[in-house]
Chain A
Amino acid sequence: MRLKIVRITIFGFFCIIAVNLFYTQIIRGQYYYGLSVDNRIRVIPSEGRRGSILDRYGDVLVGNRLSFNVAVIPQDIKESEFLFDYLSEVLKTEKKELLQRFYQKKITPFAPVVIAEDIDKKIAMELEENRFRFPGLYVQETFRRHYPYHGLGAHVLGYVGKISRSRMEKLEEYGYTPKSIVGYLGVEESYDAFLKGEEGGKQIEVDARGRQRRLLSVKEPQRGQDIQLTIDARIQRLAFDILDDKSGTIIVMDLDTGGILGMVSAPAFDPNVLVSSRYAKEAASIFIDEGAPLLNRAIKGLYPPGSVFKTIVSLAGLVTKKIEPSTTYFCKGSYKLGRRRFRCAHVHGTNDLIGAIARSCNVYFYNVGLLLGPEIMNKYARILGLGRLTHIDLPFEEKGSIPSPLQRKMKSNRGWYDGDTLNFSIGQGDVLVTPIQAVRMMANVARGGKEVQPHLIKAIGGREVIQFSTVKNIHIKKKIFETVQKGLRDVVQSERGTAKILNMDGFEISGKTGTAQTAPGKPSHAWFVGYSTQGKKRIAFCIFIEHGGSSYYAVRMTRNFLKKLREEEII
């Protein structure tokens, strides 16, 4: 009956096991014994190379270079004193230090322990030549990340390092191991999944001297995919040189596609320093540097936009029909609200909208701001992309913040006053934007409301990336954009324009200056955000100097920058 069947089946299973045991231990016993006594199986991992990062013309921005490590296999060492004395002399490191590293990292007797990384090529060759004298010594070949442009594209590119625990927990299912190298910051991080290679290895049987006798099995390592960015290395270099020793950022974006042609943030850092333990000291100093070189000011720096915000106020005023292009206000250098005087940079007299934009008259916009009210200004700021992420393909982008009475009440339970509205209308107070948001806003205006998606990626593994994005059209009448565009053009073209030094032959530049006050006692930030529509390439750009003093310096830098771009026939 059934129990009997169960009994027989169980007995059958055990028989199979017993037979197999007999086979393994008796019939093949000697063979396995041999393998175990001599510990003849070795596993040699081989790295999958990480993909390179190229600029739009194929120039290598990030590549891999051959690097050598010194490793020791504990089991194979015959005379350790002799070995370590020699190594200490050749590597010019204290023997104590080498021994410490050895004991710290040792796991099993047959796994190589790396005791020195990224050694000089000549030293590597010398060690390799002398290996026969020191059983147990191995020179390992690996790849190390190499950034030929050093600090030039540091923020766009990022750097690589060992995976952290938090990343590991999230990514374990995708094949990452605790030894994986992953990207940090920049596109190294956002495209890590494509860039990373897959580890391979081989299982070999070795003889008594550790030489390969037989290949048991092999798994080929996979190379990561190369990615190509929209960045133009020439623009990066020019921008980097022009920023020089100042803090700030320069962004250049293709007006028609949204591709980022150049993005530099200063102060910067050299990623090469972060990928090799040879430069541990310099690496440490980067992290504690007060200037925050790791911060990508283009997407993470939050600054008050100052007069650049007047673009928004103009649009809002026209759309809501609170003002018309011909509306005028009189500026006598200041505006009185209650008992306080809100200042304007100059005495501007009477101006219409275009004139007010060109001359950047605060008083005009104080008036418009009061007409609109903070909620409306908030609404249109957000419609134009301020206070929202641009979803550019870089990690750690900041959203910024646009104030409103409701938000203020919820956050700190304070009231909103007309004075706040005045500050709001000239882009001060609690308004905080990132430079990339400013560029996007300006580009949207230049394109008559057709939104554009800022991005860095051009191709992955040789295949062009087609942008699928959720950008749409902004529902504001074309005529309104045209009016504001005219104002922005007058900033440069008109005699009274605040950026008239940009009115150069052969160029058609529009934009808005901004001098944003920060903390009392500190110099203001300098902005120029604009676009150029004449020449080889149509671009939108932003030149921002942290604590630059006045927008004049940003404008001047813009002029030099654009001239250089024209000289090199880039635009």
Chain B
Amino acid sequence: MHKNLARLIWIFTAFIILIGLIALYSASYHNVRVSNRIFYDQLGCAVSGLLLMFFLSRIDCRKFYDMAYIFYWITIGMLIMVLVTGRHALGAQRWLSIGGFSFQPSELAKFTLILALGRYFSERRPALTFSFVDFKYVLWSDLIVPFSMTLLPMVLIFKQPDLGTALLFFGIFIVMLFVSGLEYHYLIGFFTLCASFGPFAWHILKPYQKDRLLVFLNPNIDPLGAGYTIIQSKIAIGSGKLFGKGWLSGTQNQLNFLPERHTDFIFSVIGEEWGLLGAICLLICYMVLIYCGLKISEQIKDKFGMQVAIGIVAIFTLQVVINVGMVLGLCPVVGLTLPFVSYGRSSYMIFIVMMGFLLSLSRRRTIF
């Protein structure tokens, strides 16, 4: 079992990386906003990433378990530092510079949160059994504490401001909570509570974030800004039809109709140049990786491994689905990247780490 899974992960990760590089090359080809340099950046990430993935797959995943909380708190510290000292780019403070390297701690936080939650959930109920425990105790330790663990980085990230990633954290929490075995009545009560916070949450949003959500509901109210981008994105993808226009021949993209095509909107490059076939192909690759993750989570008996695997599956799914949804006009523009394809070193490397972890898990024996 595990040998096959590992092989699948390797093959399809490499495949996605390849598709990503090809798409990025096209996106940076005639780009007035960025130079060709980003392609070579990403290439470097790919090579070093694959190496890293190899090394990580050899590490015993128990080590991740041991360091889970330490990693978590280090990341929290970094997130605080970003708010205090971070570098400004595109109107947001998301990057931290250490020794010449700049990276986004929020990306790192995705994985460390999963590790921390995974460890926490596995400690609380080490076996996948459901025993009768006191209501208040359950409420506190199985719901409130893990939610606070999630809320802390969520709030710090939200203040950067980065709405999309903050909401992503909430999504991760929901999935991991669901899988942790918490009884349904707690879950339902919790979700209802969160839903009722909706109107309040609306007021915390900044004006441009509110605008984004409103434009999503009706792109025509902002013909100059986001509404324009969505229409252009749909035109780009739609015009690809079945076979696409060919590599480097996407007119919408080569002619600079889409400003963010090397990051958020890179899927539209793929859609335009490779058509429905190319797009479905890429989606299938993602689905295979997600399938592998799910299979691993099903077969592993160690609860920590299971939780983290599900967490990784959750991130992948959410980012892919939301990103493609954005590009198709199904979701509001929230700035989530497409794994291994969108340009972004921090995001790239974290996904590598996650794949490495899955590989490491797959090497474990399924029965203690």
Contacts and interface: CB of A to CB of B under 8 A. Distances in A.
B290 interface: yes
B207 A173 contact: yes
B280 A3 contact: no
Contacts of A3: 179, 294, 297-298, 310
A172 B290 CA distance: 40
Interface stretch (A33-41, A275-283, A396-404, A475-483): A33-41
Interface stretch (A12-20, A83-91, A115-123, A555-563): A12-20
B178 interface: yes
A25 B241 contact: yes
Nearest to B179: A2
A25 B179 contact: no
Contact of A10 (B91, B251, B276, B290): B290
Given A29-B239, A219-B222, A17 B283 contact: yes
A32 B223 contact: no
B236 A36 contact: yes
B228 interface: yes
Contacts of A7: 294
B234 interface: yes
B221 A217 contact: yes
Contacts of B290: 10
Interface in B91-132: 91
Main secondary structure of the interface of B (DSSP, over half): helix
Contact of A203 (B223, B257, B280, B297): B223
Nearest to B250: A36
Given A6-B178, A18-B280, A35 B235 contact: yes
A107 B32 contact: yes
B231 interface: yes
B20 interface: no
B224 A43 contact: yes
A330 B283 CA distance: 101
Interface in B198-252: 206-208, 219-224, 227-228, 231-232, 234-242, 251-252
Contacts of B275: 25
Main secondary structure of the interface of A (DSSP, over half): helix
B242 A29 contact: yes
A22 B276 contact: yes
B310 A14 contact: no
A24 B237 contact: yes
A201 interface: yes
A26 interface: yes
Nearest to B206: A173
A555 B208 CA distance: 57
B241 A43 contact: no
Given A17-B283, A26-B242, A217-B221, A43 B228 contact: yes
A29 B175 CA distance: 36
Interface stretch (B10-18, B39-47, B60-68, B323-331): B323-331
B155 interface: no
B78 interface: no
B287 interface: yes
A45 interface: yes
Contact residues on B (Cβ < 8 Å of other chain), bracket = 35 or more
Contacts of B263: none
Of listed B179, B224, B321, B324, residue having the most chain A CB within 10 A? B224
A32 B313 contact: no
B219 to A, nearest CB: 8
A371 interface: no
A218 B223 contact: yes
A32 B239 CA distance: 5
A39 B223 contact: no
Interface residues of A, number: 45
B261 to A, nearest CB: 13
A48 to B, nearest CB: 12
B328 A20 contact: yes
Given A173-B207, A218-B223, A25 B231 contact: no
B279 interface: yes
Given A25-B271, A35-B235, A17 B321 contact: yes
B280 A45 contact: no
Given A25-B279, A201-B223, A17 B252 contact: no
A39 B175 CA distance: 43
Interface in A28-87: 28-33, 35-37, 39, 41, 43, 45
Contact of A14 (B321, B328, B330): B321
Contacts of A110: 255
B294 A6 contact: yes
A249 to B, nearest CB: 41
Contacts of A2: 178-179, 181
A538 B246 CA distance: 81
Nearest to A106: B32
Interface in B1-44: 32
A337 interface: no
A326 interface: no
Interface in B253-287: 255-257, 271-272, 275-276, 279-280, 283, 287
B223 A43 contact: yes
B346 interface: no
Contacts of A25: 237-238, 240-242, 271, 275-276, 279
A130 interface: no
B278 to A, nearest CB: 10
A474 interface: no
Contacts of B231: 41, 203, 216
Given A20-B328, A203-B227, A10 B313 contact: yes
B321 A24 contact: no
A173 B222 CA distance: 17
Contacts of A37: 239, 251
A45 B223 CA distance: 9
A5 B298 CA distance: 12
Nearest to B184: A2
Nearest to B182: A2
A21 interface: yes
A536 B252 CA distance: 70
Contacts of B175: 6
Contacts of B236: 32, 36
Contacts of A5: 178
A107 B325 contact: no
A21 B297 contact: no
Nearest to A172: B91
Contacts of B221: 217, 219
B328 A24 contact: yes
A43 B236 CA distance: 17
Contacts of A29: 238-242
29 contacts: A2-B179, A2-B181, A3-B297, A3-B298, A6-B313, A7-B294, A10-B317, A13-B317, A16-B330, A17-B330, A18-B283, A21-B279, A24-B328, A25-B275, A26-B241, A31-B238, A32-B238, A36-B235, A36-B238, A43-B224, A107-B256, A108-B32, A108-B255, A108-B257, A203-B224, A203-B227, A216-B220, A217-B220, A219-B223
Given A6-B294, A18-B280, A24-B234, 15 more contacts: A2-B181, A10-B313, A14-B283, A25-B237, A25-B275, A25-B276, A26-B242, A28-B238, A29-B241, A33-B238, A36-B239, A41-B235, A108-B32, A108-B256, A201-B224
Interface of A: 2-3, 5-7, 10, 13-14, 16-18, 20-22, 24-26, 28-33, 35-37, 39, 41, 43, 45, 107-110, 172-173, 175, 199, 201-203, 216-219
Nearest 10 A/B pairs, CB to CB? A32-B238, A217-B220, A203-B223, A36-B239, A29-B241, A33-B239, A217-B223, A25-B276, A201-B224, A32-B239
